[in-house]
Amino acid sequence: MHLQELSNHIEIDIHEALEERFMDSEELYVRFLKKLEAANDLAAVADCVAQQNWPEALRKAHNLKGVCGSLGLIRLQEQLAQLVKLLRSAGFTQKQVAAQLAEISPEWERTLECIRQLED
């Protein structure tokens, strides 16, 4: 798959990411997209949630939200922003956080699958 085809499959703002953050270098941009795929940071967030390590879950979710924003991954950034908001709220439950993660997971997997199909 070519980079410009990603927007046919996921909510992504390739133009802004390239222009604002990657100096119009598609090669650099694709390299960073592939790093996202390799790191699988959502699993790290889920591990923190399973351990009820809320400060670390918040830190990792917040960082991942920023990375997704920098990469122009619009839908994932929005979903992670909701997760961060929940983790910052008073009185949330592990069940609520797990449910939010379950909502994010399909978009995350679809995004990673598209990234795997990108041509170098």
Q: What's the pLDDT tens digit per position in 23-71?
A: 999 999 999 999 998 888 999 999 999 999 999 999 999 999 999 999 9
DSSP label of 120:
-
- Is residue 120 scored above 80 in pLDDT? no
Looking from the CA of 75 toward its CB, the CA atoms found within 13 Å total: 14
Residue 70, C-beta contacts closer than 8 angstroms, at least 6 positions apart: 17, 21, 32
pLDDT above 90 (res 106): yes
- The CATH number assigned to the domain with range 3-116 reads 1.20.120
**According to the model, what pLDDT value does residue 40 have?**
82
DSSP letter (8 states) at residue 72: T
Can you list the alpha helix ranges (DSSP code H) found in 22-73? 26-39, 41-50, 54-70
Mean pLDDT, the chain, as a whole number? 95
